[in-house]
């Protein structure tokens, strides 16, 4: 027997016989409503006929996967997945691996964000209850909370636990994020450019894929700095989301004077150029290049029709990469996408100069972000060996300062140019 739940756009199935909990896609969830414990290996045609909105082969494939799950009879299995930590669908729930939580004696640990719940000494057998009670039901499971040996009190999250409250965390300040996820890094620290421009007097519109609550710490930092901001949720590779971003910005602030194209995803897997998949290529180019191209097009049209009130009619800054010129054969799609962004800078600079709109590019080198964290040892060695004349990791603030410079009245007779923010890495040496 199975129980089926739908919550926050998610499809949950609980197998009461095995204790397994599964998160299913729409087609598998639909199929699950048409089967019972007497499933046969072959998908009945009645199931296919009952779901005419789906391709017959897809229905049969979903049925086969459900049959394999039933046949496996796992004690507990929780399949909470998203297609990428860097491209989370709006409204989705996902599981990620974090860095060290600094509380190993109470592990395994499970955090539930943005609720700030920390479960301790979690076992596989707790998975079904956590999904049912907390993720679906919104209830806290008290027995899994940390309990003080001194007063017996249960603590909901690490912000309350005395062990954490006595700490000022530096190295472990971002231990709650997934080390391989650029989007999670952005949620914590990726607003350097927004903060810099806001401090310079700009009203800021933030555009990202996750729920606003995911970025609470960063957004609170903008508020505390007195920066006026507006958040728009969407994906750069979606036309409707791009159009909504422009529309909401104009509705909120009346005009657009600056566009900073700061989107950049790396391949999900670094693969040799000869092994690169079309899917990976399309994903990276779709966000980094296509999204940048057509968002710039929309923003430029808006700038053109506005009354000019500043010394220029608008500034557009593209955040490229040293990878536009430096070969990296294990992530060729990223190099191609950034080389294309460089040409987009040239093209739009040429087209928009008569309109009074300036377009330039900031080209970062090795910047300490989540994207580079997977190859930290490689870049540490390069820095040690003197490959970078300025012998340190670049910081997000280094990039933000140059973005702000290109958006200022200090740059009124320059367009179609780029500046390397790479510690001198671009210098050719003998």
Dihedral of CA 251/253/256/260: which sign?
A: negative
Between these two residues, 166 and 316, which has the higher pLDDT value? 316
Calpha distance 178→186 (Å, rounded): 11
Of the listed ranges 125-129, 171-175, 403-407, the least confidently predicted one is 171-175
pLDDT band at 285 (very low <50, low <70, confident <90, very high): very high
Supply the pLDDT for residue 83: 41
Domain boundaries along the sequence of the chain = 2-79, 104-165, 182-421
- CATH number of the domain at 182-421, out of 3.30.200.20, 2.160.10.10, 3.30.70.20, 3.40.50.720? 3.40.50.720
Edge to edge, what strands does the sheet with 10-15 contain?
Answer: 2-7, 10-15, 21-24, 78-79
pTM above 0.95, yes or no: no
197: phi then psi, degrees, rounded to nearest 5? -65, -40
Residue 250 has pLDDT above 70, yes or no: yes
- CA–centroid distance for 9 within its chain: 19
Supply the pLDDT for residue 35: 76
Supply the pLDDT for residue 418: 96
Between these two residues, 4 and 99, which has the higher pLDDT value? 4
DSSP 194: H
CA triple 21-27-181, angle to 5 deg: 65
| Region class of 37: left (phi > 0), else alpha (psi between -120 and 50), else beta | alpha
Segment 176-222, tens digit of pLDDT:
444 444 444 444 444 688 888 888 889 999 998 877 877 777 787 78
Supply the pLDDT for residue 184: 46
Supply the pLDDT for residue 119: 87
Supply the pLDDT for residue 215: 74
Mean pLDDT over each residue of the chain, to the nearest integer:
80
User: What is the percentage of the chain residues whose pLDDT exceeds 70?
Assistant: 76
Given a contact cutoff of 8 angstroms between Cβ atoms, the answer to whether 304 and 246 are in contact is no
Helices (H) and strands (E) in the chain, counts: 15, 14
Q: Pick the catalytic residue: 29, 146, 164, 334? A: 334
Q: Is 334 tagged catalytic?
A: yes
């Amino acid at each position: 027997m199975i129980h089926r739940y739908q919550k926050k756009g998610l499809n949950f199935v609980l197998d009461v016989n095995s204790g397994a909990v599964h998160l299913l896609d729409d087609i598998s969830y639909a199929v699950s409503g048409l089967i019972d414990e007497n499933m046969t290996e072959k998908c009945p045609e009645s199931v296919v006929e009952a779901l005419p909105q789906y391709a017959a082969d897809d229905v049969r494939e979903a049925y086969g996967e459900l049959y394999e799950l039933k046949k496996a009879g796992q004690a507990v299995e929780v399949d909470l997945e998203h297609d990428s930590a860097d491209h989370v669908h709006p409204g989705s729930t996902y599981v990620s691996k974090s860095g060290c939580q600094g509380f190993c004696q109470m592990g395994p640990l499970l955090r539930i964000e943005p609720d700030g719940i920390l479960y301790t000494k979690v076992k596989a057998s707790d998975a079904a209850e956590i999904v049912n009670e907390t993720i679906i039901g919104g209830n806290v499971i008290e027995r899994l909370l940390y309990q003080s040996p001194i007063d017996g009190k249960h603590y909901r999250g690490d912000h309350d636990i005395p062990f954490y409250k006595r700490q000022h965390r530096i190295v472990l300040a971002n231990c709650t994020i997934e080390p391989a996820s650029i989007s999670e890094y952005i949620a914590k620290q990726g607003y350097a450019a927004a903060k810099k421009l806001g401090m310079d007097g700009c009203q800021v519109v933030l555009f990202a894929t996750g729920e606003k609550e995911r970025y609470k710490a960063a957004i609170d930092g903008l508020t505390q700095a007195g920066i006026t901001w507006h958040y728009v949720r969407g994906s750069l590779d979606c036309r409707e989301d791009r159009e909504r971003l422009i529309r909401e910005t104009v509705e909120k602030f009346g005009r657009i004077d600056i566009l900073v194209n700061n989107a950049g995803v790396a391949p999900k897997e670094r693969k040799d150029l000869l092994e690169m998949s079309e899917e990976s290529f399309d994903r990276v180019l779709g966000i980094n290049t296509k999204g940048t191209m057509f968002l710039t097009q929309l923003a430029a049209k808006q700038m053109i029709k506005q009354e000019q009130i500043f010394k220029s009619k608008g500034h557009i800054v593209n955040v490229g990469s040293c990878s536009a010129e430096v070969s990296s054969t294990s992530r060729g799609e990223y190099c191609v996408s950034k080389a294309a962004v460089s040409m987009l800078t040239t093209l739009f600079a040429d087209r928009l100069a008569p309109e009074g709109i300036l377009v330039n590019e900031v080209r970062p080198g090795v910047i300490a972000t989540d994207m580079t964290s997977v190859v930290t040892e490689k870049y540490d060695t390069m820095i040690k060996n003197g490959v970078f004349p300025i012998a340190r990791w670049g910081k997000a603030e280094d990039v933000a300062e140059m973005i702000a410079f290109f958006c200022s009245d200090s740059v009124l007779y320059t367009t179609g140019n780029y500046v390397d923010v790479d510690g001198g890495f671009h210098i050719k040496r003998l």
